[in-house]
Amino acid sequence: MSTLSQEAPQASNVPVADWFDHTFLYDDPLKISQRMRQEGHEIMYIPMFHMHFTCSTALGRAIWNDPKNWCNLRGEIPLTKAIGPNLMFKRGEEHAKERAAIMPSLRPKTVQEAWEPVFRRHAAELIDKLIEHGPGVDLNEHFAVPYAARNLAAIAGLNEVPWQDVAKWSHAFIKAAQNQLDDPSLWPPAEEARNGVDAAIDVATPRLKANPDASMLSSLVNGPSQIPLDVIRGSIRLGVAGAMNEPQHAILHGLWALERHPEQKARLLKDPTLFPQAFAEVMRWLPPITAVPREAMNPVTVHGIDFKPGQIVVVQISGANRDPKEFEDPDTFNILRKPRPDFSFGGGEHLCAGIWITRATVQIAWKMLYERLEGLRVIEPEHTPWFGFVYRGIEKLPVTWDAVRAA
Amino acid sequence: MTKIIYVTSDGASTTVDAEDGSNVMQTALDNNVPGIIGQCGGGMICATCHVYVPPEFADLLGPVGTEENDMLEVVTTGRRPNSRLSCQITIKPELNGLTVNIPESQY
């Protein structure tokens, strides 16, 4: 984020968060929003990033709902350096065209008809393996990672490569995408991941042209309009980068949050109709992606602040999802809360295309895990380690259970 | 300018001078009309800009497309024969006086 070069990155009249230092990069970013609220500010300027951060849902929404004046970042940022050009950094018709080319694979109807059976099969196979490992197994390594990676490989259409490669590429992209401090060791794995994805596309394309399926690559190569190879690569790389971390972490965050709230866990397991609400609340309370930026394209005033072109506002997602003006008792985890639009999947034209996929993968995983493993619980949830700044999540979650139910 | 009237489920009405070429969802967001979320900015991903339109405007709006139809299947407040996604209704002078009824919930 330090590569931005605009001359006056700070909007006038926005207070400076002079307390922000690099230690925040290794901590829970929710602390930024908590500090801002303590000081009575809904937006502050962070000199280290040359960006404003906001924890206000209303302010964030005003920006995201105004595509004429705000776009995704235009300068080079770690994410674009990591995965190369892709639709996330395009706008208007160009973006809409590329988005439309992948959406047939990601719409709710496709998710239900084509993908849910695949997700169930993957979950069932992996739960069998969990049972072989026995109580004490790390649910991240032995379920969340392989489940998310196998689902992702299928959705992307990269059937010819082992899921381990897809997982490795996705992690390399995510690590490089949040390499704000420009650690040189993180760029070569991202390059290897780009090359790996591109080679996998080359291998899969003839198969999908001969036998189209519901995958993203199939939609791209068999769609009504001719899509250039660089666009295909950008879209699939973005899918590989984005579609693993989020479901992987959401699955773990949900099990962890429920463990910390046993009454709600018991209620959910008694009434499975609450799963969609539980999913919405887990995403609000513990969002796997914690920061989403927008850049002003024109002079624009939002909530009385005059922004100049090139100035950037980052919505601090975990903070905005706990905005007391938007959510009653916002710090409390409550699966009975009526779902409201939050920022966990972004918003506006760049709303996460995988929103329906993620809703399905995560809820299927929770339901099948709790169904098969009677008494499933997290071991010592009070000691669970969390990692990451922009992409934040649980990386190790040992679990145990009392008995195994038949599949 | 084309007048669009938004009516929420509790009967509150907002009349907006809409810009031709925009759409009914974006016009609602630009004018802070309550009840239309439009989370995906018109990409037909979120199904949070659901409205009911009067039958007399049906011909002017054209048929429901395949993608719009798929998304209307997953709206949270009951789909009716006159359900539309407001992001798919482009503002044009013939729509002057269009009243859209906003369902109780989009989420």
CB A351 within 8 A of CB B45: yes
Query: Residue A1: pLDDT band by 50, 70, 90 thresholds?
Result: very low
The chain B residue lying nearest A67, using CA atoms, is B41
pLDDT for A240 beyond 90: yes
Write out pLDDT tens, residues A300-329. 999 999 999 999 999 999 999 999 999 999
Q: Would you tell me how many other CB atoms lie within 10 Å of the CB of residue A364?
A: 24
Query: Residue A5: pLDDT band by 50, 70, 90 thresholds?
Result: very low
Residues 8-37 of B with CB under 8 A from A: 29-30, 37
Residues 49-78 of B with CB under 8 A from A: 67, 70-71, 73-74
On the CB side of B37, CA atoms within 13 Å amount to 23
Cβ neighbours for B32, distance < 8 A, ≥ 6 positions apart: none
Q: How many Å apart are CA A151 and CA A357, to the nearest integer? A: 10
Residues 66-125 of A with CB under 8 A from B: 66-67, 96, 99, 103, 106-109
- Average pLDDT of chain A is 94
Question: What is the mean predicted confidence (pLDDT) over A257-286?
Answer: 97
Q: Looking at residue B53, what is its pLDDT?
A: 97
Write out pLDDT tens, residues B23-57. 999 999 999 999 999 999 898 999 999 999 999 99
CB B45 within 8 A of CB B90: no
Mutate to test the interface with B, among A88, A109, A338 (most CBs of B within 10 A): A109
Contact B45 A355 (CB under 8 A): yes
Put simply, whether B87 touches A (Cβ < 8 Å) is no
CB A45 within 8 A of CB A61: no
Contact B41 A351 (CB under 8 A): yes
Question: What is the mean predicted confidence (pLDDT) over A84-88?
Answer: 90
Distance of CA A118 to the CA centre of its chain: 21
Question: What is the mean predicted confidence (pLDDT) over B19-23?
Answer: 96
Q: Tell me the whole-structure pTM to 2 decimals.
A: 0.93
The chain B residue lying nearest A95, using CA atoms, is B43
Nearest to B40 among A66, A340, A351 (CB): A351
% of chain A at pLDDT higher than 70: 98
Cβ neighbours for A222, distance < 8 A, ≥ 6 positions apart: A208, A209, A212
Q: Looking at residue B1, what is its pLDDT?
A: 85
Mutate to test the interface with A, among B39, B68, B85, B106 (most CBs of A within 10 A): B39
Go through A139-171 and write b for each residue having 16 or more CB atoms within 10 A of its CB, e for each that does not: bbebbbbbbbbbbbbbbbbbeebebebbbbbbb
Q: Distance, in angstroms, between B32 CA and closest chain A CA?
A: 9
Chain B residues in contact with A103 (beta carbon < 8 A): 43-45, 67
pLDDT for A395 beyond 70: yes
Write out pLDDT tens, residues B7-16. 999 999 999 9
Q: Would you tell me how many other CB atoms lie within 10 Å of the CB of residue A136?
A: 9
Query: Residue A7: pLDDT band by 50, 70, 90 thresholds?
Result: low
Of A45, A49, A42, A34, nearest in space to A4 by CA: A49
Contact B46 A355 (CB under 8 A): yes
Contact B40 A107 (CB under 8 A): no
pLDDT for A6 beyond 70: no
Query: Residue A286: pLDDT band by 50, 70, 90 thresholds?
Result: very high
Chain B residues in contact with A349 (beta carbon < 8 A): 40-43
